[in-house]
Chains A and B, each alone.
Chain A
Amino acid sequence: MMMDLLLSFEQAGQNLLGAAWLPLWTLVKIVLIVAPIMGAVAYTTLAERWVIGWIQIRIGPNRVGYFGLLQPIADGLKLLMKEIIIPTGANKFLFILGPILALMPALAAWAVVPFNAEMVLSNVNAGLLYILAMASLGVYGIIIAGWASNSKYAFLGALRSAAQIVSYEIAMGFALVCVLMAAQSMNLGDIVNGQKGHYGALNWYFIPLFPMFIVYFISGVAEANRAPFDVAEGESEIVAGFHVEYSGMAFALFFLAEYANMILISFLTSIMFLGGWLSPVPFLPDSIVWMLAKAVFVLFLFLWFRATFPRYRYDQLMRLGWKVFIPLSIIWVVVVGAWMQTPLWVW
Chain B
Amino acid sequence: MKDKRKEISAEEKFYMASQWQLMWRKFRKHKLAIIGGVILAIFYTGAIFCEFFSTQDIYKRYTKYIYCPPQRIHFFDEEGKFHFRPFVCGFKRARDPITWEKIYKEDKSKKYPIYFFVRGDKYKLWNIFPSDIHFIGVKKGGILFLFGTDKLGRDMFSRNLYASRISLSIGLVGVALSFILGSLLGGISGFYGGAADMVIQRIIEFLICIPTIPLWMGLAAAIPTDWPPLKVYFAITIILSFVGWCGLARVVRGKLISLREEDFTMAAKIAGASDGRIIVRHLLPSFLSYLIVNLTLSVPGMILGETSLSFLGLGLRPPVVSWGVLLNEAQNVKTVSMHPWLLIPGLFVIITVLAFNFLGDGLRDAADPYK
A binds B: no
